[in-house]
Amino acid sequence: MRVHDFIVVGSGCAGAMAAQTLVDAGKNVTMLDAGISPQDQTIPNKDFLTVRNSEPRQYEYFIGKNIEGIGWGKVGKAEQITPPRRHMVQDTDTFLPVSSDSFSPVESLAYGGLGVGWGIGCWAWSPRELKAAGLDAKKMATAYNTVARRIGISAQEDDAQKYTLGQLASFQPATTMDRNHLRIFNRYQNAKAAFSRQGFVMGRAPLALLTKRLGSRKPYGYKDMDFYSDADKSAYRPWITVDQLRHHKNFTYIGNKLVVRFTETNNTVHVDCIDITTKKEASYLCKKLVLAPGVLGTARIVLRSLGDNNSRLPVLCNPYSYVPCLQPAMVGKAAEPRKLGFAQLSLFLDEKRHNFGASMASLYGYQSLMLFRLIRQVPLNFADARILLQYLLSSVVIMGIHHPDSQTSDKHLRMQPDSTSPTGDRLMAHFALSREEQRSRRHRERKYMAAARKLGLVPLKRIDPGFGASIHYAGCLPFSKQQRPFALAPNGKLYGTKDVYVADGSGFAYLPAKGLTFSLMANAHIIATNAAHEKTK
Amino acid sequence: MRKTLHDQAVTFGRYHIGTAPTDLAVQLYTAAMQGKAVPKNEQRLFNLALRHPTLIPYIDAGLVFTNPHAELRRRLFVMFAILETMPEYTALFLSKQREPLYLLFVLCVGVRAVFRTVIGVVITGVFRSARA
């Protein structure tokens, strides 16, 4: 059997960055990936309003060919996944079963992983946050810039730049804000001192979105079709990197493969997989293995490979709520032809001003997600609710609030045998906040509601989609300077192995409220660099 | 069943947009609801709504509070979403530039909605009691 030099598991943000770093270092890389691709679908490269007014088959991508994109029942995980992105969660119930009454994670077997649905926010963590996470601030500062040059980030220097950009120097000009957000930002600017006294600071959200050309990728066209298509590849998605790597002679992509476990023997790593189309087993050999299938995927693989049914791993997940708001000054306005669906403003709450432990609210416009996603939240008959919502739609702003997370004994994962599962097991999860964490969350969310009112917004209802809904997971194998089971060395190597590295967020011992994907990619670059330079034993 | 689903699509379409929906909308609704049954304990209210479409706004309003996940509400919601994606009806869904006085109309709609809710809670409550 061929012994591959490097096997990278997963094609998401971490896997793509790790693979690129290894290929750039001259290594031969094989990527094993489940790699479910979207259905063939032609979505016209037009703006949202033109599509709505002219395309007869628009239902295929707005609600699904079989109307599968219409949710009903309790607001749950993956609520925002539109039909063109449904492949992101396809077959996960079969191959990645989870049981929990307190934690509903979203995982992916897609080509590009969870990056398919990433909100593209790129906040750089502060030195204190990085240290708490177990990361080297100096290395991460360099890695942030490397990743930024690869993927293209648009951002702006402003009051919040120590929370958003840190030392990031490589970025393009920020996108143009829509009228709703301009108004909000102006209100903030006019009352900056008052907000600051409360611990708030607001700035532009850095986005992995081009405002200038980068290779074959074009600048953003403000078509407001962000949740459905991106023919210009203006928003970075990890599959863009994997597509490019597949033209490289040092890179081999093997799809349909779900890695389930590894064993190490005689200077090689034996990697066992299941083919997700045939459910047959397959095996590969490599000199070095880099795991990046996502934190929960890595947890499964490591528990199967090194643990037993009694082994428990910690898990971190940002608690998340969202609040639909109305902006009275924008009621009864015509739909905006040039708009973007991504977060435009970030509002940080950091009472101690340490740039550590802050919560973060992201503000989004709401136009292209359609009325039907809102109407079932309105306690009125549909006919009258439609009239009301049509009038109010131009004023809807969504405030999504993330809180930081730290390890406690009440947040953990383990595996349990399950003969009905193709992998023979399922992940058992438990997640609960301590009393202090709950108190802090409630207190901060009340402050955010008050801040929203000062920004000219009327918060309507706080919606808690449950733990796991933030789709930010970390910390199952925390970085440790001392060797211990189920932990990573500072260079990303899994303790107890000779040649197994973990390049996703598994090592982060602390999870700031700022989105983790940018830090994930920077870390993946560092880990891959370490793996490339360490000699195989 | 097919005829019934067709009738439902037309009835629910009229409720939402005031006119019979396009053939495509009817076709999509029929395909989406094919094989899905109305629970036995909801059939009387469901059939009442279909026989007397003028009652739908009231029943819909009442169900928001008495049984928000009722099959009737779900099917009305499905038809709503289908109609929203028909280019013929975007004028009913996309936001529009409105004069300030339009707020008065919206307030009247709000009052009407409350009235419909009160009546609807009574109607749906009666049906729930009868079932019990």
- Chain segment A515-535, per-residue pLDDT in tens: 999 999 999 999 999 999 987
Residues from chain B that touch A394, judged by Cβ atoms under 8 A, are 95
Is B116 in Cβ contact with A384 (below 8 Å)?
yes
Question: Minimal Cα distance from B70: which residue of A?
Answer: A73
For the complex shown, is ipTM > 0.90?
yes
| pLDDT, tens digit, 9 for 90 and up, residues A134-173 | 999 999 999 999 999 999 999 999 999 999 999 999 999 9
Q: Average the pLDDT over A488-505 and give the result.
A: 97
Closest of A148, A88, A139 to residue A120, by C-alpha:
A148
Residues from chain A that touch B70, judged by Cβ atoms under 8 A, are none
Question: Three-state secondary structure along A186-221?
Answer: HHHHHCHHHHHHCCEEEEECCECECCCCECCECCCC
* Closest Cα in chain B, distance from residue A468 (Å): 24
Residues from chain A that touch B60, judged by Cβ atoms under 8 A, are 381-383
pLDDT confidence band for A190 (50 / 70 / 90): very high
Q: Average the pLDDT over A485-507 and give the result.
A: 97
A79: pLDDT strictly greater than 80: no
pLDDT at position B126, please? 87
CB B12 within 8 A of CB B99: no
pLDDT at position A309, please? 81
pLDDT confidence band for A77 (50 / 70 / 90): low
Portion of chain A with pLDDT greater than 70, in percent: 98
A55 touches chain B (CB under 8 A): yes
Q: Average the pLDDT over B11-15 and give the result.
A: 97
Residues from chain B that touch A372, judged by Cβ atoms under 8 A, are 77, 80-81, 84
DSSP state at residue B88: G
Give the span between the Cα atoms of A345 and A338, in whole angstroms. Answer: 17
Q: Average the pLDDT over A270-279 and give the result.
A: 97
Minimal Cβ distance to A391: which of B28, B85, B102? B102
Residues 6+ apart with CB under 8 A from A29: A5, A6, A7, A8, A19, A22, A23, A245, A250, A251, A252
Minimal Cβ distance to B57: which of A56, A372, A381? A381
| pLDDT, tens digit, 9 for 90 and up, residues A212-256 | 999 999 999 999 999 999 999 999 999 999 999 999 999 999 999
Question: Minimal Cα distance from B13: which residue of A?
Answer: A383
Residues from chain A that touch B96, judged by Cβ atoms under 8 A, are 332, 334-335, 390
Residue keyed to tokens 């880099």: A290
Question: Minimal Cα distance from A379: which residue of B?
Answer: B64
Residues from chain B that touch A67, judged by Cβ atoms under 8 A, are 28, 31-32, 78, 81-82
Is A335 in Cβ contact with B64 (below 8 Å)?
no
CB A473 within 8 A of CB A315: yes
Residues from chain B that touch A58, judged by Cβ atoms under 8 A, are 85, 87
A3 forms beta bridges with A285
CB atoms within 10 A of CB A189: 12
User: What is the helix (H) or strand (E) element at residue B57, kind and residue range?
Assistant: helix B56-66
To probe the interface with B, which of A381, A387, A394, A396 has the most B CB atoms within 10 Å? A381
Is B81 in Cβ contact with A67 (below 8 Å)?
yes
Is B24 in Cβ contact with A56 (below 8 Å)?
yes
Question: Three-state secondary structure along A280-346?
Answer: CEEEEEEEEEEECCCHHHHHHHHHHHHCCCCCCEECEECCEEEEEEECHHHCCCCCCCCECCCCCEE
Helix axes B102-131, A382-392, angle to 10 degrees: 150
What does the block give as tokens for A497? 């192995």
The mean of the pLDDT values for chain A is: 95
Lowest mean pLDDT among A40-49, A92-101, B45-54: A40-49
Q: Average the pLDDT over A63-75 and give the result.
A: 78
Residues from chain B that touch A337, judged by Cβ atoms under 8 A, are none
Residues from chain A that touch B87, judged by Cβ atoms under 8 A, are 52-56, 58
Strands A281-291 and A500-502, sheet pairing: parallel
pLDDT at position A76, please? 53
Question: Minimal Cα distance from A375: which residue of B?
Answer: B77
Minimal Cβ distance to A62: which of B15, B57, B85? B85
Residues 6+ apart with CB under 8 A from A267: A287, A498, A499, A536, A537
Minimal Cβ distance to B85: which of A58, A333, A394? A58
pLDDT at position A42, please? 86
pLDDT confidence band for A41 (50 / 70 / 90): confident
Q: Average the pLDDT over B40-59 and give the result.
A: 95
Is B87 in Cβ contact with A53 (below 8 Å)?
yes
Is B16 in Cβ contact with A334 (below 8 Å)?
no
Q: Please list the helix, strand and coil fractions of chain A in percent, rounded to the nearest 5, in that order.
A: 30, 25, 45
| Phi, psi dihedral angles at A8 (to 5 degrees) | -110, 130
pLDDT at position A438, please? 97
| pLDDT, tens digit, 9 for 90 and up, residues A387-399 | 999 999 999 999 9
3-state class (DSSP) for residue A349: strand
Question: Minimal Cα distance from B64: which residue of A?
Answer: A379
Q: Which of residues 372-431 of A touch B (CB under 8 A)?
A: 372, 375-376, 379-388, 390-391, 393-394
Question: Minimal Cα distance from A396: which residue of B?
Answer: B95
A52 touches chain B (CB under 8 A): yes
* Closest Cα in chain A, distance from residue B21 (Å): 14
| pLDDT, tens digit, 9 for 90 and up, residues A411-443 | 999 999 999 999 999 999 999 999 999 999 999
Is B28 in Cβ contact with A67 (below 8 Å)?
yes
Cα(first)–Cα(last) distance of chain B, in Å?
28
Longest dimension (CA), chain B: 49
To probe the interface with B, which of A384, A391, A392, A396 has the most B CB atoms within 10 Å? A384
| pLDDT, tens digit, 9 for 90 and up, residues A479-491 | 999 999 999 999 9
Is A334 in Cβ contact with B97 (below 8 Å)?
yes
Minimal Cβ distance to B28: which of A54, A59, A385? A59
Residue A218: HSE in the Cβ half-sphere, 13 Å Cα cutoff: 8
Portion of chain A with pLDDT greater than 90, in percent: 91
Minimal Cβ distance to B93: which of A59, A390, A394? A390
B3: pLDDT strictly greater than 80: no
To probe the interface with A, which of B73, B94, B109 has the most A CB atoms within 10 Å? B94
Portion of chain B with pLDDT greater than 70, in percent: 95
A470: pLDDT strictly greater than 70: yes
Give the span between the Cα atoms of A63 and A22, in whole angstroms. Answer: 40
Highest mean pLDDT among A75-79, A337-341, A442-446: A442-446
pLDDT confidence band for A310 (50 / 70 / 90): confident
The mean of the pLDDT values for chain B is: 93
Minimal Cβ distance to B95: which of A58, A384, A394? A394
What does the block give as tokens for A483? 């060797």
pLDDT at position A69, please? 80
pLDDT at position A140, please? 98
Minimal Cβ distance to A390: which of B16, B85, B95? B95
Minimal Cβ distance to B87: which of A55, A63, A367? A55
Give the span between the Cα atoms of A300 and A261, in whole angstroms. Answer: 8
Residues from chain A that touch B82, judged by Cβ atoms under 8 A, are 59, 63, 67
Minimal Cβ distance to A70: which of B60, B81, B103? B81
pLDDT at position A535, please? 73
